[in-house]
Amino acid sequence: MTYYARSASDTALRQTYLNHVLHVLVRGRCYLRKVLHYAQCLDAKAIQRIYELAAEYHDLGKLDDENQKILVGDKKACRLPIPHADAGVAHLLAQDAFTSALMVVAHHAGLPDCNAIDDMRNKKIQQHVDNVLQEYLVRHETSVRPNILVKKQPKDRPDLKPPDVRVLFSCLTHADHGDAARASTEEPGRLYHPKLRASERLVALRNYVNGLKSKNDDTERNGLRTAFFSACAENLQESPITICDAPVGTGKTTAVMASLLSTAARHNLRRIFVILPFTNIISQSVRVYRKALALPGERGEDVVAEIHHRAEFEDVASRKLTALWDAPIVVTTAVAFFETLASATPSTLRRLQNLPGSAVFLDEAHAMLPAKLLPLAWQWIQHAAACWSCHWVLASGSLCHFWEMEEFGDAIRLPNIIPIRERDKLHDFEVVRVRHSFRPNAMNLDALAEWLVTLGGPVIVVLNTVHTAAAAAQVAEAVFGEGNVLHLSTSLTPGDRETTLALVQERLLDRTDTKWCLFATSCVEAGVDLSFRTGVRECASLLSLLQLSGRVNRNSEDNEADVWTIILNANDSGVTKNPAFDISSRILRDFFDQNTTISPALCTEAMLREVRESANISTELVKQESVYGFKTVEKKFKVIEDQSQLAVVDKQLIEKIQNFENISWREIQNSSVRIREKILRKLNIQESRRYPGVFLWTAEYSPFLGYMEAVLKLEKIDEDGFALI
């Protein structure tokens, strides 16, 4: 008799149980084989057997008579009447295959808190499953077992740490989701991404950098940049974790990439990750990398993946829109990267199996995460270096050596990829470019706009929330005049952010164009090559303030430049508070109250105070990780603490979705924003029927304020009690 794992749809035939199980086995073995190639100090054979058992029995419960009636098509139902994971769990627990059973119970529900479960069984159906389990196994043996090479059960459980379990689980979920998409014809055309070919790309990068030089590039600064690049390209540092503390404006984008390629070539690594703190700088870096690293006959977008924000979906119909890490070079944000490492959710963890055997560039490493999350993130970094052959470069112009604090375990010294001679020259050239000032009296947005117009321009203003930045830009436009206020935040789509950033860079080239300002959030603080005359930062943290300083008088164009720290009136209707800065802003105010000179030398002290004030959260996270508290770690390890959903704002793409046309994850990413759930509810934004998890934005949106155009208008209506039609 033929048994089935997937029912027929309008676009696909039924899939047999045998076909699905074999495909998950074969696909997953392929992913796992690549992972285990880079495994160190782990029992590869035992790990492979754990995977094979989970893959073979993950859908055992689909063999139930009631489930088969649905899968064959004799009955209609939205879901299977008997949850199908419990049967595989029951069988594997009886075989003492705990880790395999854990993966089966989690392959739809997600990894649980192992410290909080007495039994992985589904109590509602346990008795039923126990009564018919032997019949399931007979059916499985007759349909699947003859096609599988029988292997012995591993005698000992390998010592798998929580990150190892996540990687192993990633292989299963990627194989399972991928085969489901293939069987239902939802899988996009198979993409065969190019290999890393690190040595060849290093040559291409050298040629690109040499091509940027001109006859006029004989200044001392450019000479230092050239020496910095060469030192990184020739880097022979063997430590799996290194640092790079080159100051701003020295070309870290290409120099550190040269170091990563050199490392990848020596260690035969398969992938490079560039982790940036904010979405705004991704496109700028990607544009450089695609030009510099694509080899003849290759397309830049196939070589360098650009992933702006987390986009992963549990619903079967939407899974193909999940952004995966399968390109040889992946550029993404710290939010997307570290929340993947913390995840317990199958759709998110699908991409994690691509991390082992990679070189990772953590740009602006001190600013990549809130201080309370750093201790656990540091454990993951060390584990990936020790067990999965990952090589890390932590870079920043104002790098805080947090790993030397006792809160992070045994203090270690990390080697610098820049030789001492070149490093000293770079830091000697870094002069005092800005002076810091503080306005302690709280201002409302009207007063802020009137004050800004008196400053030497152009002015960059960085505020603590998307809401405040948009509201302040709207108020300031009445003072500066239309066209003289620009706005940049995640309320804009990646495409509109790119357009605005290009306009900012164009206007900065005209030194006579001074009567304008840019309102932004922290997304412009790091890695963006901008140089304003004056900077204004809402009080947030010392590290954020120093980052903004890198966008002011960047190349010492002016003899004097000011960076102001301000306080906004929380009672102003346009101002919203960001609780994430409660501790760090108080520490920064203490420095100003004590007349302490603001400089990178304060970074370690500020970080230490912040880590210690949030020690309870850090300690709890580390504890939960140590006892395999997967769900709790996922819940508490949030880089940005809000509940948001992906919303498409492009009208043409919305129409394609409503017409059930095929679209890609890149289209979704480039035409969408992440919006808090309460805003979606308030504006009655509907979820797509075609792609559950994707919302279709029908409210106002503008290239100036993005989705905040509708939010601010709604607030004005609420405030006035009426709307002008």
Domain segments of the chain: what residues? 4-183, 198-429, 435-598, 644-720
pLDDT of 513-561, one tens digit each?
Answer: 999 999 999 877 766 778 899 999 999 988 888 888 878 887 677 777 8
Are 530 and 486 within 8 A, CB to CB?
no
pLDDT of 396-450, one tens digit each?
Answer: 877 788 888 887 877 788 998 887 777 666 665 555 678 899 999 999 999 999 9
Q: What confidence score (pLDDT) does residue 246 get?
A: 78
User: CA 489 to CA 492: how far, in whole Å?
Assistant: 6
Strands 694-696 and 644-648: parallel
Helix (H, G, I), strand (E, B) or coil at 687: strand
User: CA 172 to CA 166: how far, in whole Å?
Assistant: 10
User: CA 690 to CA 681: how far, in whole Å?
Assistant: 19
- Can you read off the two tokens belonging to residue 452? 């800004």
Q: What confidence score (pLDDT) does residue 550 get?
A: 79
Q: What confidence score (pLDDT) does residue 641 get?
A: 64
Lowest mean pLDDT among 4-13, 311-320, 506-515: 311-320
Regarding predicted confidence, which is higher, 156 or 605?
605
Strands 485-488 and 435-443: unpaired
Q: What is the mean pLDDT of residues 337-347?
A: 94
The model's confidence at residue 388, banded by pLDDT at 50, 70 and 90, is: very high
> Which of 137-146, 298-307, 516-525, 621-630 is the most confident on average?
621-630
Does residue 336 surpass a pLDDT of 50? yes
Residue type, 33: R
Domain 198-429 maps to which CATH number in 3.40.50.300, 3.40.33.10, 3.90.1010.10, 3.30.70.250? 3.40.50.300
pLDDT of 645-679, one tens digit each?
Answer: 889 998 999 988 888 887 877 788 788 888 888 88
**Count of CB atoms within 10 A of residue 77's CB?**
12
Describe the chain by its helix, strand, coil percentages, rounded to 5.
Answer: 50, 10, 35
Residue 92, burial from CB neighbour count under 10 angstroms (0-12, 13-18, 19+): buried
Q: What confidence score (pLDDT) does residue 431 get?
A: 53
Does residue 13 surpass a pLDDT of 90? no
Minimal CA–CA distance to 272: which of 329, 198, 323?
329
User: Which residues does 152 contact at the CB level (< 8 Å), separation at least 6?
Assistant: 49
Does residue 369 surpass a pLDDT of 90? no
Q: What confidence score (pLDDT) does residue 313 get?
A: 39
Are 53 and 66 within 8 A, CB to CB?
no
Q: What confidence score (pLDDT) does residue 722 get?
A: 42
Q: Which fold has domain 435-598?
A: Rossmann fold (3.40.50)
Q: Give the phi and the psi of residue 139 in degrees, each rounded to 5.
A: -65, -40
Lowest mean pLDDT among 161-170, 214-223, 590-599, 636-645: 214-223
What distance lies between CA 427 and its chain's CA centroid?
A: 31
Rounded to a whole number of angstroms, the distance between the first and last alpha carbons of the chain is: 67
Q: What confidence score (pLDDT) does residue 314 get?
A: 41
Element (H, E) at 137: helix 126-143
Does residue 120 surpass a pLDDT of 60? yes
**Count of CB atoms within 10 A of residue 203's CB?**
14
**198-429 and 435-598 share one fold:** yes
Residue 547, burial from CB neighbour count under 10 angstroms (0-12, 13-18, 19+): buried
Q: Could you write out the DSSP letters of every residue in 21-90?
A: HHHHHHHHHHHHHHHHTT--SS-HHHHHHHHHHHHHHTTGGGGSHHHHHHHHTSS--SS-SS-SHHHHHH
Q: What confidence score (pLDDT) does residue 383 get?
A: 96
Q: What confidence score (pLDDT) does residue 417 get?
A: 87
Regarding predicted confidence, which is higher, 227 or 134?
134
**Residues 404, 381, 269, 293: is their CA dihedral positive or negative?**
negative
Q: What confidence score (pLDDT) does residue 547 get?
A: 81
β-bridge partners, 672? 648
Residue 490, burial from CB neighbour count under 10 angstroms (0-12, 13-18, 19+): buried
The model's confidence at residue 152, banded by pLDDT at 50, 70 and 90, is: low
Regarding predicted confidence, which is higher, 7 or 421?
7
